[in-house]
Structure 1
Amino acid sequence: MKRKTIAMAVALTVGVSTLTGCMGQMATAGLVTKFNLKVVDNRYGREGLFLLLSPVYGIASVADLFIFNTIEFWTGKNPISGKSPAVVDIPADSLIKVNDQLDKSMTQVPLQSNNRDIESATLKQIDDNTMQMDITYLSGERATLRGEKQNDEVAFYLDDQYVTTVSNLEMERYLETASLQ
């Protein structure tokens, strides 16, 4: 019974993940190619390295297809290359015009960035476990971002709506790699 449940879970996971693959820049595979071209300066060495790296190319391509290109498709920006717009949003001379009268909402990225120009932000400590940032945007809109520490993680709320929970370790790793200015 347990083996059947595990097999069903694996089949479901593989099935769902194959439905999420999206067209995109294939930036991870591009990074592997760029590495290959920089390491060796002649065609025979590059070919040899290409053959040795073939499993890496496969893994990079699968990561692109099912993870990074999907993010690019839904957000409009590739997380590896940082390039925007998404490949699927670049105008082209199409042979088949699906619908040139398409509603404007169908031609925009579905998950737009929430970045807005901030006029001011004030950070204050509510208690030993709660920090709050009051944000004023240039448009005059206001928002409140609150972080509540619970054991080894912090839960974030934007205007009293739960957003996410992040572990202290995740935040430390982010701070190590972030270029905060």
Structure 2
Amino acid sequence: MKLSKVGAGVALLICTQLAGCMGQMGLSGLVTKGNLSVVDNRYGRAGLYMLMAPVYGIAATADLFIFNSIEFWTGKNPITGKSPALVDTPINSIIKVNDKLDKDLTTAPVKLTQARMTAVDADTLAMTMTFEDGSQQVMTGRKQGEMVDFYLDGQFIASVSTSELEAYVAERA
């Protein structure tokens, strides 16, 4: 099944909006720090800010859609290196939710420490993913004719045509 360009755009927009964009704004902070370190008075800094307005906009957009999303899913900001993620910072809140949640749902879910690819045979690749807690999962891709079937720990999860995979790779090249 092929997605139209509009459908793919809507899906991408929904993914970015649901990605958890609240974060430390690390790149924007670096731009601000750079601005403050260039000139030692408020008028010079304000003038430099006006000249750098496009840079601030690009940095804030990158933080909002890329770096803060990475921070949300991994628990660590890739720019500042600080952990825990801003959304995981304990604070005296008005509405208490975490005390009713499973403890596994109160921290960043992505704790991958290693991924290793191996060729099982001419038509099968296996990726062994190791997580922080030492547990492992195996994602397998098996080519059958013009289709590639994907399995996670032996359970079927998706089937994709080789032309769709090639188009995906070509878009990112």
Q: Which residue of 2 aligns with 1:158?
A: 128
Alpha carbons of 1:72 and 1:147: their partners in 2 closer, same or farther (altered >3 Å)? same
Aligned length: 125
The structure 1 segments of at least 4 consecutive aligned residues displaced by more than 4 Å after TM superposition are 5-12, 144-148, 159-163
Q: Which residue of 1 aligns with 2:27?
A: 28
Contact persistence 1:21–1:67 (CA under 8 A): no
CA drift of 1:113 comes to 3.6
SS in 2 for 1:100: helix
Alpha carbons of 1:62 and 1:77: their partners in 2 closer, same or farther (altered >3 Å)? same
Alpha carbons of 1:80 and 1:96: their partners in 2 closer, same or farther (altered >3 Å)? same
CA drift of 1:33 comes to 0.2
Q: Which residue of 2 aligns with 1:46?
A: 45
Q: Which residue of 1 aligns with 2:73?
A: 74
2:110 counterpart of 1:111: yes
Aligned counterparts of 1:8 and 1:158: Cα–Cα separation in 2: 32
Q: Deviations over 1:125-177 (max 9, x none)?
A: xxxxxxxxxxxxxxxxxxx94567xxxxxx984387569xxxxxxxxxxxxxx
Unaligned 5+ segments in structure 1 are 116-143, 149-154, 164-181
Q: What is the one-letter code of the residue matched to 2:105?
A: M
TM-score by length of 2: 0.61
Q: Percent identity over the alignment? A: 54
Aligned counterparts of 1:102 and 1:12: Cα–Cα separation in 2: 28
Aligned counterparts of 1:23 and 1:101: Cα–Cα separation in 2: 22
SS in 1 for 2:87: helix
Alpha carbons of 1:26 and 1:156: their partners in 2 closer, same or farther (altered >3 Å)? farther
CA drift of 1:36 comes to 0.3
Tell me the C-alpha RMSD between the 2 structures. 2.9
Alpha carbons of 1:93 and 1:21: their partners in 2 closer, same or farther (altered >3 Å)? closer
TM-score by length of 1: 0.58
Q: What is the one-letter code of the residue matched to 2:44?
A: G
Q: Which residue of 2 aligns with 1:168?
A: none
